[in-house]
Structure 1
Amino acid sequence: MRRAASTLIVVVVLAPLVPLVLWAGTRSWRYPDLLPTDGSTRGLSLIFTSETLAALLTSTAVATAVALLSCAIGLPAGRVIGLHRFRGRRLVQFLLIAPVIVPGLAVVLGLQVFFIRWGLSETVVGVALVQLVLTVPYAATILGGAFESFDLDLEHQARVLGAGPTRTTALVTIPVLAPALAASAVLTFLISWSEYVLTLVVGGGQVQTLPLLLFATVSSSDTAAAAALGVLLVVPPVVLMLTLSRLLRVRGGMLMGMARS
């Protein structure tokens, strides 16, 4: 039953990719043909152009930096939210998710002035930093939930055995919270990977990522090229999610085995 459910989920996730792949491998697809009859590799060949590869590299670098920074900031923030009860805690939680509630364009227009003054506008660093406004709340919320069930005695035991704060965090806290950290990293990576508005405004059109390149191609009415770029934009997140699911399932099985033994 579980295998059938997993197979169904995979099929549902991958099904939307089929039309994209078909469009990317054809010159035209006329109605009412069920399948395209005029095959072409032009669309798929666009994936390997210098412009596309440069956009792919930029998207990967920005999303990776955003994921790492979001987890680095979200870890201490989540610790405070999850482990401590203090006056104004609910207000802090609300302020964390406020940038997610407010439209992203409104947030970035307010920040754009500071990015221009600091020389971060139209730079990759500026794009990565502005995306933290959207991703840090998710990381802090996920890690805050993980810390609520975190056993502080594990850290106390490490400190009693002579481990300092840094070693305790590296050898105890992070391994225990690894699933939550992985989920936070993947989620923030995916948010950054598909981000368009913040990248366009702060990047000023000079920082070319895959979403920006895809929207420009869609505007040109080149369906084959747009489909090929759509495949390139969608496949890495799907692979990443399937890999994360597999790793978490393996880790969960190991923990269950250790508990039984």
Structure 2
Amino acid sequence: MTLYDWPRAAAFGRVIPKNKIYEHTGANTALKDLFVREVDQIVWSHKLAPETVNLAATKQVAEIQVFRVTTRTGALDRDVLRAIDKAIPFPLIFEVVHGNQIKLMATYKRPSGADSARWVVGDYFESDWLSKDAPRAQLPVALDMGALYERLVEPLVAGQTARVAPGIAEAPQTAYIAAAFEETVSLAERIAQAEAIQRQAREVERIKARLSREKQFNKRVAINAELRAAKQELERLTSLGHGGNPGAAMPDV
């Protein structure tokens, strides 16, 4: 995963006070406490729009906003990003900064089919931490703003899926990304699968935690069977992601 060299013409550089986010989201005390503990500064750094990147707007993506969130700790609760996403009526790409490290985070944000004035915000996907001095790449080639948004989000989805499910090997994952760019599978479908993989990986970890706490032999046998079934389901989901054999063995997790 690389950082992007956002076009100079798209630079915006406006600091966003936290209380503005609170006002637009009706933040409760718990959410405000999260912002105070975890967020040092929020900067609206770039506006990717037809006039700044020379790409036509689409019905779903008129502009893409880039927000830089400087954190007080290495962890950032997803509710912080979700609040910012709810406050800004455009798709967002986050650059999360902590010390000398930076990573990209985003959810695939799109208008609701039931109400175009409302936005659907799903799971968040993220890159690995990189050095703030890491080389930056040019924006992906795209025909319009909607395609650019997909090109920015897709590597985050693919990369995180590979980290969550280590059974996905590097070569199949590369093929999976290539197939995605050929639009054999829609981004929405890939995200739905990635979210299913993440949910199942969390379920595997939940069962493993139960197993580690259980002392009675007969109950451990039952939990082990449940764990094997959960691993098999995770294997099935990851196999769908890269065209692998659903019956292939998956390493213990």
TM-score range, shorter chain: under 0.3
The alignment's TM-score, normalised by the length of structure 2, stands at 0.27
The alignment's TM-score, normalised by the length of structure 1, stands at 0.27
- Please state which structure has a larger fraction of its residues in helix: 1
- Greater relative contact order (CA < 8 Å, ≥ 6 in sequence): 1
- Rg larger in 1 or in 2? 1
